[in-house]
Structure 1
């Protein structure tokens, strides 16, 4: 297992279509979700939750998404419907990270949303530490109320991300990162 700094330096997203079996087993999934939930959470609100898609549930959810598209547009192409049927089946495991941020007397919604983002990132890092790869996506289903409801989102909740997890079939590729000189300033009293 790489040390913590190497782990953080080497984490890369692998596109969902390049994540294959094996995915996490039951014990690994429990560990992933436990680590994902160990994030800053002002007020101990747990302003997020997880919906798991694995096995046949992935394609069953995809069938429902395809049916939604077909109901909205009877002329939708078969290729587009096939894309929807496979949306959650690209990787062995998909974890929908659901933000349930809500008005609170002390904790701003923004802080609750940041906690959900931290949970998603912890999940990605934990998957990398286990030898898997992950890809954090949203796509149209995260922004469409009917599609989100199909995936288990309740009123007042939002999809913060669909985290696809599996064994990478391609090597990770780095992408250009911003130069620190472009993103860092030091505050001075002047």
Structure 2
């Protein structure tokens, strides 16, 4: 039994207070490779990872704000969108790059991209970094998809914020699996 891998899975925790340094070099490559190992029916690799750090965080914030503005958001929401990426030193926008396939519907490709986010967060935590998978109504904005150069059939599945934890990771409390299980 691989006790370290099991322990990582059983103690996974999101961390929303992140600071520099962000993963880079080999650590970042491990994170990306973990995402590319997500379950993938049909071997379509329906993923795209859009990375933003440094000035890229400001560019991402400007794109979020522009899409919010064009979608008719209130001024407060537009300003908040500008600041969203600045909560971590690295933000990976993960999109499902949906490909037409007779046996693999778009929904499965979305799930696969979601699994990539989880795998990347786990790889970050395994290397001592923290992360949090964030969503936002903006991830459904077709205007944001257009601004990011995504295709009409693509879908953002989340924003993975990564960095060094600025606080101790919370150890998840025990959850009784029997509350979620029903044998058939």
Shorter-chain TM-score above 0.5: yes
1:62 and 2:64 equivalent?
A: no
Q: Secondary structure at the match of 1:4?
A: helix
Q: Are residues 1:183 and 2:184 paired? A: no
Distance 1:72 1:45, change over 3 A: closer
Q: Distance in 2 between matches of 1:157 and 1:131?
A: 32
- List aligned pairs for 1:4-153, cutoff 5 A: 4-15=5-16, 18-70=17-69, 76-77=75-76, 80-153=77-150
Aligned residues: 182
Question: 1: distance between equivalents of 2:175 and 2:73?
Answer: 44
CA separation of 1:3/1:147 partners in 2, compared to 1, >3 Å: closer, same or farther? Answer: same
Classify the secondary structure of the residue corresponding to 1:23: coil
In 1, the alpha carbon distance for the partners of 2:142 and 2:74 equals 22
Distance 1:114 1:76, change over 3 A: closer
CA distance in 2: counterparts of 1:186 and 1:58, whole angstroms: 46
Larger radius of gyration, structure 1 or 2? 1
* Structure that is richer in helix per residue: 2
Separation in 1, partners of 2:74, 2:9: 46
> Aligned-residue CA RMSD in angstroms?
2.3
Give the ranges of 4+ consecutive aligned residues of structure 1 lying more than 6 Å apart after TM superposition.
none
1:156 aligns with 2:153: yes
Structure 2 unaligned regions, length at least 5: none
SS at match of 2:51: strand
TM-aligned CA deviation for residue 4 of structure 1: 0.7
Structure 1 residue runs without a partner (length 5+): none
The alpha carbon displacement at 1:174 in A equals 4.5
CA contact (8 A) 2:91 2:162 kept: yes
Match of 1:86, SS state, is helix
